[in-house]
Amino acid sequence: MWQPSYNKGTLLATPFVEWITNPSIALSLLTEPDVPTYNAGNVLDLCFASASLVLAGATTALAIDLDCTSDHLPLVTTIPSSSRFTSPTPYLRLATLQLEPFLSSLGSKLSSLPLLDPLHPPTT
Domain of residue 34: give its range: 11-78
Beta strands in 16-111 (DSSP E): 27-29, 48-50, 59-62, 75-78
Q: What is the pLDDT of residue 60?
A: 94
Do residues 78 and 58 make contact, with C-beta atoms less than 8 angstroms apart?
yes
pLDDT reading at 26 higher than 80: yes
* pLDDT tens-place string over residues 28-69: 989 988 888 888 888 888 899 998 888 889 999 998 888 778
Do residues 34 and 40 make contact, with C-beta atoms less than 8 angstroms apart?
no
Map residue 81 onto helix, strand or coil: coil
> What is the chain's Cα-based Rg?
27
**Considering the domain boundaries, does residue 71 fall inside one?**
yes
Count of domains forming the chain: 1
For the question of whether the overall pTM of this predicted structure is more than 0.85, the answer is: no
pLDDT reading at 90 higher than 80: no
b or e along 13-24 (b: 16 or more beta carbons within 10 Å of the residue's beta carbon)? eeeeeeebeeee
**Considering the domain boundaries, does residue 20 fall inside one?**
yes
**Considering the domain boundaries, does residue 99 fall inside one?**
no
